[in-house]
Amino acid sequence: MSKIFLTDTTLRDGSHTVSHQFTLEDAAQIAGGLEAAGIDIIEIGHGDGLIGSTINYGFGRHDDFSLISAAASQLTKSKLAVLLLPGIGTVEALKMAQKAGAKAVRIATHVTEADMGEEHVKAAKDMGLFVVGFLMMAHMTDAERLTEEALKFESYGADVVYATDSGGAMLPEDVFEKISSLKKNLKIPVGHHAHNNLGLAVSNSLTAIEAGATYIDGCLSGLGAGAGNTPTESLIAVLNKMGYEHNGDLYKAIDASEKILIPSLNNKGLKVNSQLDAMILGYAGVYSSFLLHARRAGQRFGVDVRDILMEAGRRKAVGGQEDWLIEIAVELANQKSK
Amino acid sequence: MSKIFLTDTTLRDGSHTVSHQFTLEDAAQIAGGLEAAGIDIIEIGHGDGLIGSTINYGFGRHDDFSLISAAASQLTKSKLAVLLLPGIGTVEALKMAQKAGAKAVRIATHVTEADMGEEHVKAAKDMGLFVVGFLMMAHMTDAERLTEEALKFESYGADVVYATDSGGAMLPEDVFEKISSLKKNLKIPVGHHAHNNLGLAVSNSLTAIEAGATYIDGCLSGLGAGAGNTPTESLIAVLNKMGYEHNGDLYKAIDASEKILIPSLNNKGLKVNSQLDAMILGYAGVYSSFLLHARRAGQRFGVDVRDILMEAGRRKAVGGQEDWLIEIAVELANQKSK
């Protein structure tokens, strides 16, 4: 199995969810949290890409370059990326983005219009950036045409090409067919960006991986335009359960969501409840009634509630065995103090 | 492809989401909406099943029998079902449920303890009920053991057996292996009940169908314990897109969610936003920017916004072609008036 590279786009596609009102502090803190969570590429900027902050697409609270600088100040490992839609973004803006700290760019065109991106891909490569060709609304054409367009991006010098399900409209079989065709015909790696309109974002990401994709997108807590993207935390959880190699850290991704992103959303008046307790219960494979007991035991003995639940899952604890949770917490506390 | 039978459990598993506070009016209206949406089996009662309304599991606003009566008064086609956990529910209670209008029962045991349900399955069959064996926490054992337990339910006389992913912990490969084994070894139909902890509920339902399951559960708007169940509307949308035969009606399921369930949740102080606009966009395969324009055109010409979006999807309209939406609305209005 090939290693999977994670791109988180909370600060770009997720920016739609907050009507592009992320603050510079949000940018810095969320980027820092994502780097701690092992995310390979962090995308940032207006939801509609570089220079998207207009009367047409909605003004952002800050310009892209300030956001990039704020995030870049926190990063030493993760690659900071911007999105560029030719026709909205320009090569000039890309140069400014690079100056502010961007190391990568995703050049996004409609699925049948890769040629719109030729000039931008070539310029970005000349600038020494890591370049992703991003073919949007990939459900609107067939595998053959998609592959032709992807080959164009490859010929321009792109490092990776994505089949992007902007509309959240792709069925598993469609993802499999298209990604397989890209994988078969391209020399460069293939990526997939899912939206959750039909509730298929996580599984379409898995299907893409199965078909050969090695670059996968997510957003913390499933933020993103419309129904949102693949939740980064769920993606990491499922990749872990399936044994895929990647750089993501589940607990730290959850921390970035619960301690940084969600409080910031709530401060903006967007009442978002964390779904991550439920996620960890499914990850551990334990009864939901365990949560409260595990929390109490964790507090009492100074142990991470997630470690307690994971161990309960390994021991196949069932309803009625809530006392095991205390036993487990004590054991974990003892191990820690050794 | 075999026909798929839909069970909606908004009024039972979804009851957890409202701390078992559904009113009699909720029960009547939601059941009516589900029948209109072509749901084959409607499950109702306390989240923990018959007689679950206790200090241990949380008192319900109404007893199960009043809820059953209220729902039954609205139904002529859909089968009203109750859940019975041996040890909590009793045969006596089941008789009262039948008197109140229940036509089916799901006898639920831990995945390795089907024998706990023998007496109840036999009694329910003697009473003339449709009986489902419901093997909970199916992730906790292997396919072989699950199959042994399912064969017990079959031998007691059950009409259907479910592999129930109570913890939302099953991966696609696990669902496929287990449902395939049940399908291969049982004479009676096989069902699957998913939870969305890992974001896999819709796709695990599809995987189950692919492996041979013909009974699938959902809840309107993805209600249900923990991370919730498979959203019934998404399930219907995806089954439609994939060409499966079933009795569900997508628009009417959306109506039941948007016009009945969600207002009732909001009245209870649970702020729930409909995700169904985004779902329809994915179903139609159109840009999210179309929604506002389609809504305006729909109001102006008296056409269902969903029909406009679907037609735009069929015509493969892309961004910038928002004027097509008015054209489509006019055409649909003309067709209607003929």
So what's the pLDDT on residue A326?
94
Dihedrals φ, ψ of A288, to 5°? -65, -25
How does residue A262 score in pLDDT terms, banded at 50, 70 and 90?
A: very high
pLDDT of A155 > 90? The answer is: yes
pLDDT of A138 > 90? The answer is: yes
C-alpha A151, offset from chain centre = 25
* Tokens 């009974």 -> residue: B215
Domain positions in chain B are: 5-267, 276-337
So what's the pLDDT on residue B128?
98
**Mean pLDDT within B25-54:** 95
B194-228 residue pLDDT tens: 999 999 999 999 999 999 999 999 999 999 998 99
C-alpha B266, offset from chain centre = 20
Distance from C-alpha of A69 to C-alpha of A24, rounded to nearest angstrom: 9
Q: Which residues contact A132 (CB under 8 A, 6 or more apart)?
A: A81, A104, A105, A106, A107, A158, A159, A160, A161, A162, A191, A215
Question: What is the overall mean pLDDT for chain A?
Answer: 95
How does residue B277 score in pLDDT terms, banded at 50, 70 and 90?
A: confident
Cβ–Cβ contact A58 with B under 8 A = no
**Mean pLDDT within B319-329:** 89
Please give, one letter per residue, the 3-state secondary structure of chain B: CCCEEEEEEEECHHHHCCCCCCCHHHHHHHHHHHHHCCCCEEEECCCCCCCCCCCCCCCCCCCHHHHHHHHHCCCCCCEEEEEECECCECHHHHHHHHHHCCCEEEEEEECCCHHHHHHHHHHHHHCCCEEEEEEECHHHCCHHHHHHHHHHHHHHCCCEEEEECCCCCCCHHHHHHHHHHHHHHCCCCEEEECECCCCCHHHHHHHHHHCCCCEEEEEHHHCCCCCCECEHHHHHHHHHHHCCCECCCHHHHHHHHHHHHHHHHHHCCCCCCCCHHHHHHHHHCCCCCHHHHHHHHHHHHCCCHHHHHHHHHHCCCCCCCCHHHHHHHHHHHHHHHC
Q: Annotated binding residue at A166?
A: yes
Distance from C-alpha of A165 to C-alpha of A159, rounded to nearest angstrom: 19
pLDDT of A219 > 80? The answer is: yes
pLDDT of A95 > 80? The answer is: yes
Of A122-136, A277-291, B155-169, where does mean pLDDT reach its minimum?
A: A277-291
A100-115 residue pLDDT tens: 999 999 999 999 999 9
Of A169-183, B66-80, B307-321, where does mean pLDDT reach its minimum?
A: B307-321
Amino acid at A283: Y
How does residue B336 score in pLDDT terms, banded at 50, 70 and 90?
A: confident
What proportion of chain B, given as a percentage, has pLDDT over 70? Answer: 100
**Is B216 in contact with B7 (CB distance < 8 Å)?**
yes
In chain B, which residues have their Cβ closer than 8 Å to the Cβ of A206?
A: 172
Distance from C-alpha of B265 to C-alpha of A94, rounded to nearest angstrom: 46
Q: Count interface pairs A-B at CB distance under 8 A.
A: 143
So what's the pLDDT on residue A74?
97
Q: Annotated binding residue at B307?
A: no
B100-130 residue pLDDT tens: 999 999 999 999 999 999 999 999 999 999 9
- Superfamily grouping for domain B5-267: Aldolase class I (3.20.20.70)
So what's the pLDDT on residue A29?
98
Interchain proximity B234–A198, CB inside 8 Å: yes
A48-57 residue pLDDT tens: 899 888 777 7
So what's the pLDDT on residue B337?
83
The encoded tokens of residue B20 equal 């078992």
Question: What is the overall mean pLDDT for chain B?
Answer: 95
**Is B36 in contact with B247 (CB distance < 8 Å)?**
no
So what's the pLDDT on residue A40?
98
Mutate to test the interface with A, among B250, B281, B291, B316 (most CBs of A within 10 A): B281
Question: How far away is chain B from the Cα of A213, in angstroms, using its nearest Cα?
Answer: 18
**Mean pLDDT within B172-192:** 98
In chain A, which residues have their Cβ closer than 8 Å to the Cβ of B140?
A: 285, 316, 318
So what's the pLDDT on residue B288?
82
CATH code of the region B276-337 = 1.10.8.60
Instruction: Please give the residue of chain A at the shortest CA–CA distance from B169.
Output: A282
Cβ–Cβ contact A140 with B under 8 A = yes
- Nearest C-alpha neighbor of B158 from the set B189, B180, B116, B194: B189
* Tokens 């992007």 -> residue: A164
